[in-house]
């Protein structure tokens, strides 16, 4: 298995000289002139001259012959106009486009100039992450052929190496390793990342990590008993060994347990392919459904970040709910009455609303575990509803239960997302979003989905998970993140959201 890794002082370097001989070109993020961002002293006049020659340099990335930089080539990558409504994503996008343009120009040893901009406190970190994102090569391409697209990369900030900038680079490399891991899982095709293959990949990735333990539940009898809603979704897939459901528990424990002040329990939707089941997807809507495992991928990626950066104050459990929503003679169908782990009966109404069922029993188990933990907070992360994307475009919808809302948790996530170029939109779970999930027939505690609902579909999905997951009865903080819009759709690569937001909000980064 070919691992795509960036290692400081091996293939990643902090550079102090913009004319260093061992690079074949320089990438400069070009800010609007009115921001008056200082440029490296060697190229100030050069930028002035080319801006007079071609104002287009402030619109699209361009390549110039420049004697004042390494390799004699300079890529100018503009942010475009920056208004008070813009966030740090303008830097991420400029760095990503600039690196992509450098690669297209044939550079193998690019040097990125990443200035510290007062308007964006985390701009250097986000800019480096944007540049590294442009270097990503999908796992199956890496396994098929030698696809390394660089020899080494340099990052230039000041004319001397500072501890602060080195820390920024180290954080960026750790986060990008985590995002590569998540993208590999989310972007792998339905066979390369079938449930059994994800288990194999996760075990391989965490091999040797002493602060990580992994528990895989693959006995179908155990899954049927302890995760009955997940088992129903997986029924049609169970005659294919590699497609059978798995529940993967990844635990991060810091070396000094007495320093822990918060416990995170994250449940990720890992539907490796969603046909819609008996309520089959039609009109071409099935294409792209291998990305329905992006929630589980993000959970695994967050645990990877913890294993590298080793936050001393967190204890973390990540649960990957892996299954495939297949079609077959044993498909679960609408009208079935299922008994969840919580003991509540759930009437199936649409087999294409399988994600909430896949996660529900794990949420309840986490609520049981949380009672014994210090300051627990449960998350669900899932590409759950098209409604979230319809409402918020390529942004993540964050929804708190009443306990998490009391601490304004989604608001804090929104702040962290704005600092890390991962947009978060706060949605409020209201009483009707819980009530609409109540059973309609005698003896039914809950309906899987109210098929008459005309609005608030992403909020009512959170309401279902709250009601079936036991978080209300136990007064546990719970936040649901619907990443259907933010996870990345074909032909774009997976984004690995919301790993950066979670790492920022929960202070995983080294300071």
- For the chain, helix, strand, coil in percent to 5 are 40, 20, 40
Closest CA to 62 of 17, 54, 264: 54
Give kind and range of the element (H or E) at residue 477: strand 477-482
> Which tokens hold the place of 145?
């052929």
- Contacting residues for 313 by C-beta, under 8 A, at least 6 apart: 254, 259, 260, 261, 262, 507
Q: Which residues pair with 438 in a beta bridge?
A: 446
Could you tell me the CA-to-CA distances from 205 to 308, 464, 484, 502 in Å, in that order?
12, 33, 26, 20
Per-residue pLDDT of the chain (511 residues; tens, 9 = 90+): 466 789 999 999 999 999 999 999 999 999 998 888 888 777 888 998 998 888 889 999 999 999 999 999 999 999 999 999 999 999 999 999 999 999 999 999 999 998 888 889 999 999 999 999 999 999 999 999 888 899 999 999 876 778 999 999 999 999 999 999 999 999 999 999 999 999 999 999 999 899 999 999 999 999 999 999 999 999 999 999 999 999 999 999 999 999 999 999 999 999 999 999 999 999 888 999 999 999 999 999 999 999 999 999 999 999 999 999 999 999 999 999 999 999 999 999 999 999 999 999 999 999 999 999 999 999 999 999 999 999 999 999 999 999 999 999 999 999 999 999 999 999 999 999 999 999 999 989 999 999 999 999 999 999 999 999 999 888 999 999 999 999 998 889 999 999 999 999 999 998 7
Pairing of strands 337-339, 345-347: antiparallel
Q: Which residues contact 303 (CB under 8 A, 6 or more apart)?
A: 206, 212, 250, 252, 316, 318
Fold classified for 15-158: 3.40.220
d(CA 233, CA 223): 11
Cβ(435)–Cβ(331) under 8 Å?
A: no
Residue 350's Cβ-count burial label (10 Å; 0-12, 13-18, 19+) is: middle
* Sign of the torsion formed by the C-alpha atoms of 49, 55, 59 and 62: negative
Q: How many CA atoms lie within 13 A of 55 on its CB side?
A: 1
Structure token pair of residue 33? 């002139």
Residue of 510, 395, 420, 413 whose CA lies nearest to 120: 420
Could you give the maximum distance between any two Cα atoms of the chain, in Å?
80
Output the CA–CA distances (angstroms, integers) from residue 39 to 15, 66, 348, in the order listed. 15, 15, 61
CB 237, CB 348: distance < 8 Å: no
Domain edges within the chain: 15-158, 188-506
Give the CATH class of 188-506: alpha beta
Instruction: Give the torsion through C-alpha atoms of 387, 130, 183, 390, to 10 deg.
Output: 10
**Would you call 419 a catalytic residue per the annotation?**
no
Q: Token pair for residue 322?
A: 């892996």
109 is catalytic: no
pTM for this structure?
0.97
Task: Print burial letters for 475-510: b (CB count within 10 Å at least 16), e (below 16).
Answer: ebbbbbbbbbbbbbbeeeebbbbbbbbbbbbbebbe
The catalytically annotated residue of 170, 281, 310, 507 is 281
Which stretches does DSSP call E strand in 169-261?
A: 212-217, 246-252
Residues 173, 177, 181: CA angle, nearest 5 degrees: 165
Q: Take residue 469 and report the two structure tokens written for it.
A: 């997951």
> By the 8 A CB rule, do 269 and 293 touch?
yes
User: Which residue's structure tokens are 């809603």?
Assistant: 229
Looking at 92, 235, 341, 356, which residue is catalytic?
356
């Amino acid at each position: 298995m070919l691992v795509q890794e960036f290692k400081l002082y091996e293939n990643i370097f902090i550079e102090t000289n913009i004319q260093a001989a061992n690079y074949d070109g320089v990438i400069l993020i070009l800010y609007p002139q009115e921001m008056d961002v200082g440029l490296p002293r060697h190229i100030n006049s050069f930028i002035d001259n080319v801006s007079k020659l071609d104002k287009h340099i402030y619109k699209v990335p361009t390549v110039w012959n420049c004697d004042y930089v390494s390799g004699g080539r300079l890529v100018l990558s503009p942010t475009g106009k920056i208004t008070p409504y813009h966030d740090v994503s303008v830097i991420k996008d400029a760095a990503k486009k600039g690196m992509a343009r450098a690669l297209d120009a044939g550079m193998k040893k690019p040097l990125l100039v990443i200035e510290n901009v007062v308007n964006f406190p985390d701009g250097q970190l986000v800019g480096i992450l944007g540049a590294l994102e442009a270097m990503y090569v999908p796992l199956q391409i890496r396994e098929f052929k030698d696809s390394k697209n660089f020899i080494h990369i340099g990052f230039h900030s000041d004319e001397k190496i500072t501890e602060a900038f080195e820390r920024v680079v180290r954080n960026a490399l750790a986060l990008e390793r985590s995002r590569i891991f998540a993208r590999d899982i989310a972007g792998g095709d339905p066979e390369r990342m079938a449930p059994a293959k994800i288990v194999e990949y996760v075990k391989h990735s965490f091999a040797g990590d002493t602060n990580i333990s992994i528990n895989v539940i693959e006995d179908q009898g155990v899954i049927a008993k302890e995760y009955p809603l997940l088992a129903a979704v997986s029924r049609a897939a169970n005659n294919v060994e590699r497609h059978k459901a798995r529940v993967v528990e990844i635990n991060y424990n810091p070396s000094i347990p007495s320093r822990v002040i918060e416990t995170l329990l994250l449940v990720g939707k890992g539907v490796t392919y969603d046909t819609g089941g008996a309520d089959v997807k039609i009109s071409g809507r099935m294409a792209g459904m291998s990305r329905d495992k992006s929630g589980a991928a993000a959970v695994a990626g967050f645990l990877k970040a913890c294993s590298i950066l080793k936050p001393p104050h967190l204890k973390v459990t990540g649960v990957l709910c892996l299954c495939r929503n297949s079609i077959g003679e044993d498909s679960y169908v609408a009208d079935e009455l299922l008994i969840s782990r919580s003991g509540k009966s759930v009437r199936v109404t649409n087999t294409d609303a399988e994600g909430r069922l896949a996660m529900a029993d794990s949420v309840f188990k986490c609520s049981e575990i949380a009672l014994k933990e210090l300051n627990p907070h449960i998350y669900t992360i899932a590409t759950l509803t098209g409604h979230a994307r319809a409402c918020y475009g390529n942004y993540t919808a964050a929804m708190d239960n009443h306990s998490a809302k009391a601490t304004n948790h989604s608001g804090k996530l929104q702040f962290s997302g704005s600092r890390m170029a991962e947009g978060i939109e706060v949605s409020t779970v209201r009483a009707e979003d819980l009530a609409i999930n109540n059973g309609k027939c005698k003896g039914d505690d809950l309906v899987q989905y109210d098929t008459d609902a005309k609005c608030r579909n992403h909020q009512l999905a959170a309401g279902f998970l709250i009601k079936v997951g036991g978080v209300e009865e136990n007064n546990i903080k719970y936040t649901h993140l619907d990443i259907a819009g933010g996870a990345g759709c074909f032909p774009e690569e997976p984004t690995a959201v919301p790993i950066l937001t979670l790492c920022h909000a929960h202070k995983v980064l080294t300071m």
